[in-house]
Structure formats: structure tokens, C-alpha cells
Amino acid sequence: MRQVRSTITKTAIVATALAAGAVLAFGGTANAATAAATIHGCPSGAVCLYPGPSWSNDNPTYIFYSYGAHKIYNQFGMKRFYNNQTGGAIARNCYDADGKNCGGIQRAGTYYDYDYTPYNSILLAP
């Protein structure tokens, strides 16, 4: 009888260890997927403006998620603009504060360094 209990106990320990490993593996996979979606501090689906013409330690000044015009304040000189939207959405720098009088189109998945002195808003569109 002792032999049977010992085998059952060992089986239970192994099963518990495997289950715990599976939970850790799934947790690691979920975290890796989330980390992969954020590039240089800019979440997937967002447009980010950085404080200078670099990735600035992956710390954007602005993060925009929704379509439409977004006002920006006191942005002068060269800044990095990264469009991390999905589904082919575009972003534009605009001279007017209400998303009008805009410059060229920036496609999803691209970044560029612009002089933000003349810009007053950013427009996101599908």
C-alpha cells in the first residue's frame, strides 16, 4: 500500500509542476506579445510624438489613439513622429489647431523627424 501512495503522490507532484509551468509559459507568452506591440514606448494603434529627433529613451511626449484632430502645445524644433497605427491608418501634421491645412501623409509603421515649430495639431485618419 505504501508503494501505491508513493506513486500517486509523485504523480500528483509532477502534474502540479507541469500545470504551474504551463501557467508560467502562457503568462510569459502574453507579456511577450504585449511588449512586441509597443515599439519605442508607442503602443500598437497609437501615434506618438517624441521630445526630440530620437526615440528619447522610449518616452514619447504625446500619445494619440483616436481618429480626428489633436492639438499640440509648445512644440518647437525637431521632433520624432511615429505612426504605430494598424490597418493602414494615416497621420498628418497640421498648421491649424483644428486639424486643417495639413502637410503630407505619414503611413502606418513609419517615423520621420520634423521641425514642429509651425505645427499646431496632428490629424489621425483611417
Cell numbers 500517486: residue: 8
Q: What confidence tier does 20 reach under pLDDT thresholds 50, 70, 90? A: very low
How many CB atoms sit inside 10 A of residue 101's CB?
A: 12
Supply the pLDDT for residue 55.
97
Single-letter code of the amino acid located at 32: A
Beta strand spans in 20-97 (E)? 46-49, 62-64, 68-71, 78-84, 90-94
Q: Of residues 101 and 30, which shows the higher confidence score?
A: 101
Q: Tens digits of per-residue pLDDT, 45-88? A: 999 999 999 999 999 999 999 999 999 999 999 999 999 999 99
Looking at residues 9-38, what average pLDDT do you find? 43
